[in-house]
Each structure stands twice: as structure tokens, then as C-alpha cells.
Structure 1
Amino acid sequence: MPKLPENEIMASLAGLKEWKYDTERDMLVMECEFENFVKAMEFVNLVADVAERLDHHPDITVHGWNKVKIATMSHDLNAISERDINLVNEIQNLF
């Protein structure tokens, strides 16, 4: 899959307020807060299931006691591809 141009990335993120395009690192990033640690970890496990199914694995960070940060890029391209957009959309469906 080829690297996506910035205008396609931004168009793909339209309406997904949680997700941001980090242009410095060329990654799609989101951060969300949950009611408690258990809910945060349940979300992480759901994301892991999606990532395994799509065979595309984001960086996941749990911090504080209830916050989750997810960052994705296509490591083989060192850029964002359609795989990342698909992953973002699948993760968004978890909310």
C-alpha cells in the first residue's frame, strides 16, 4: 500500500474528533479517558482484538489510571497508509 498524501489523511479523519494527525511523526494519534483503570484496560483489549484481526498493530499506552493513547503508522512505509485509516475506523467503531 502506498503512503497517503496529507489531504487524503485529513479527509479520512473528518468527523473523527478523537483522532489527530501528528505531522512531525507522521502518525495518527488519539487519546481517551475512561471511568476507571478496568474500563481503560477493557478498551485496550478490544483494540488488541481489532489489531490482530487486521494484522496492523498500533502503539498503545496506558497512563494515569484511566487514560489510553493510541498511535498508528505503517512501519514498512514510515508513513500513513490505508491500513492505518482502516484501523482508525475500526477502533472508532468500539465507542
Structure 2
Amino acid sequence: MEVLRVSSPSLPFVERKTEGAPQGGGFAEKFWQALEEVNALQKEADQAVLEVALGKEENLHRAIIALERANLALGLAVQVRNKVIEAYQEIMRMQV
């Protein structure tokens, strides 16, 4: 399963490159990097399962470990997304 990146024109408030930003990048940049890593783990797990199914790989443990790593990474990404949404909703409820 491939995670597709949402392009910034649909989200104009998210700036990918800002001047004066810290060298490590902002939250948005770190978030995109983390999603790319999750995507890479998902692809690795898919490839490991395919190799086991085709008989190219006899070590089933490698495929199971790859699947669990991908599952944990996806679960973490979902939890971070949920926390970001909760924070956004809390900010929107604030009285000005």
C-alpha cells in the first residue's frame, strides 16, 4: 500500500520551504519525512510477503518482522495524526 503525498496547493497554509527556518526543518517537513519512512516500511513488508509467497524466501520470520515493523510505524503515524487533529480542534474551540 503506497501512501500518497498531498500536494501543498491544496493546503496553502503548509509551507514546505520557509526562509529563516531551523536547519532541521519544521513540523511539516518532519511529518512528511516520517510518512515517507512509513511508506518505505510498507513497501518493504509487501516485498517480503511477495518473496515468501513466490518461494524465493524461505525465512518466514523476516517477512513477519517486516510486517510488524510496518504495522507499528503505521499505528504511530495514525496516533500522531489523531493528536494533531485533536490539537487543531482544541484551537478552533478557543474563545478569542
TM superposition score category, shorter chain reference: 0.3 to 0.5
TM-score normalized by the length of structure 2: 0.32
**Structure number with larger C-alpha Rg:** 2
Q: Give the TM-score normalised by the residue count of structure 1.
A: 0.32
Higher relative contact order at CA 8 Å, sep ≥6: structure 1 or structure 2?
1
